[in-house]
Amino acid sequence: MEDTESQIYEPLTFEESRVLGSLIEKESTTPDYYPMTLNALVTACNQSTSRDPVVSFDERTVSRAIEGLKAQKLAFQVSMAGSRVPKFKHNIAGRYPHLEEPGIALLCTLILRGPQTVGELRQRSERMVPFPDIPSVESELNNLINHPGGPLITFFAPGGGRKSATYAHLLCGEVAAPHAIIAITASEVPSDPSWKEKIEAELASLRAEVAELKALLS
């Protein structure tokens, strides 16, 4: 049998990566609505939460990205009984058979939200796979770096204004070191921001899911 991981593929376009990340995320977070229709995929790609950067793709852009993913063996169309419209699934495990769920969750988070630190990845991937601690995240990130078919992510050591190591995916090709985030002053930092961020994240996720449901019913 031909080894899928030994084949050479072109780097994904940004649009293809956004569609792929959206498919992976929604399979985990809204399994009742997966596989996804084109309309639901457009909504997922254009979410204003859990996305960096925020985009405004139209159906033609998403359709073109799906065709690109199908050519790269990263997505396929399925026909489901009772469904009047085509639906789509990702094929990340078929393309990369050595990947397991924790690594897929971290890769997906990097695809959808750009370069991030270990702490950010642990928090932001929680809806897909909860990690018990930072070392468990670091272990999975090392697996992605040392992936048998070639590295799927890279990291940038602290420096250049970055206080922590930053990780980025490589599915779209090599990436430049991210710029450091400008530090804010102590007076601008809320006394206890964690609870507020958590509530805001939960509300944002609920709004996104409501938008998806509306897209599915439209």
Give residue-wise pLDDT tens across range 25-80: 999 999 999 999 999 999 999 999 999 999 999 999 999 999 999 999 999 999 87
What does the chain come to in residues?
A: 218
pLDDT for residue 181 is more than 60:
no
- DSSP SS3 for 141: helix
Domain range for 47 is 4-95+202-217
List, for residues 6-21, the tens digit of each pLDDT value.
566 799 999 999 999 9
Over the stretch 87-146, which tens digit does the pLDDT of each residue have? Answer: 999 999 999 999 999 999 999 999 999 999 999 999 999 999 999 999 999 999 999 999
Residues 68 and 105 in one domain: no
Pair 10, 60 in one domain: yes
Is 206 found in the same domain as 158?
Answer: no
Question: Residue 193 falls within a domain, yes or no?
Answer: no
pLDDT recorded at residue 213: 65
CB 65 within 8 A of CB 15: yes
Query: Does 196 reside within a domain?
Result: no
Residue 54 lies in a domain: yes
The enclosing domain of 147 has a CATH number of: 1.10.10.10
Mean pLDDT to the nearest integer, 162-188: 74
- 132 and 75, same domain (yes or no): no
Statement to judge: residues 90 and 107 lie in one domain: no
111 in the same domain as 84:
no
In the chain, how many domains are there? 2
| pLDDT band, very low/low/confident/very high, at 202 (cuts 50, 70, 90) | low
| In a domain? residue 132 | yes
Q: Give the confidence band of 4 by pLDDT, cuts at 50, 70, 90.
A: low
Mean pLDDT calculated for residue range 193-217 = 63
Rg (CA), the chain: 18
Backbone dihedral region for residue 3 (phi beyond 0: left; psi -120 to 50: alpha; all else: beta): beta
